[in-house]
Amino acid sequence: MKEKAGSRAVFSELKSLLKPYESKLEVTADTKAEYCLNTRHLMENKQYLFFAAVKIGKTYVSFYLMPVYVFPVLLKNISPELKKRMQGKSCFNFKSNDEKLFKELSGLTKDGFNRFKKEKLILE
């Protein structure tokens, strides 16, 4: 897959939003183009609950955040700018670094982590 210029920088910034959670979650992918974290919560299908990921695609770098899919109320106060970056129920796409939106996404990730923790979906 050919990457567009800047994809790696965007990937790196988005990945840095997830790094603080590594110690409480499981890293299931850590490559040049994909970084993924799962919880240690085993679901009925014997799979671990997905938490978040960053992935370089053909035209975007995508940031996936499962807590907003499980608890859509977390999206209640997001900015219209961040909402425009959404594709589907839990994916945010970026072509370039955006400090303001990445800061907001960082807060949303923290809120999602805390909500998963409150619901005992993240085990200590």
Is the pLDDT assigned to residue 5 strictly greater than 80? no
Per-residue confidence (pLDDT) for residue 13, from 0 to 100: 97
Q: Averaged over 88-115, what is the pLDDT?
A: 97
> Confidence class of residue 30 from pLDDT cuts 50, 70 and 90?
very high
Average of per-residue pLDDT across 93-119: 97
| Contacts of 61 by beta carbon, 8 Å cutoff, 6+ apart | 7, 10, 11, 14, 54, 55, 93, 94, 95
Q: Is 2 a domain residue? A: no
Say if 111 falls within a structural domain.
yes
Q: Tell me whether residue 1 is in a domain.
A: no
For the chain, the domain total comes to 1
pLDDT in tens, 46-85: 999 999 999 999 999 999 999 999 999 999 999 999 999 9
Q: What is the pLDDT of residue 53?
A: 98
| pLDDT of 117 over the 60 cut | yes
The parent domain of residue 40 ranges over 7-118
Assigned token pair, 13: 């910034």
**pLDDT averaged over every residue in the chain:** 94
C-beta separation of 105 from 17 below 8 A: yes
The number of residues making up the chain comes to 124
CATH number of the structural domain spanning residue 100:
3.90.1150
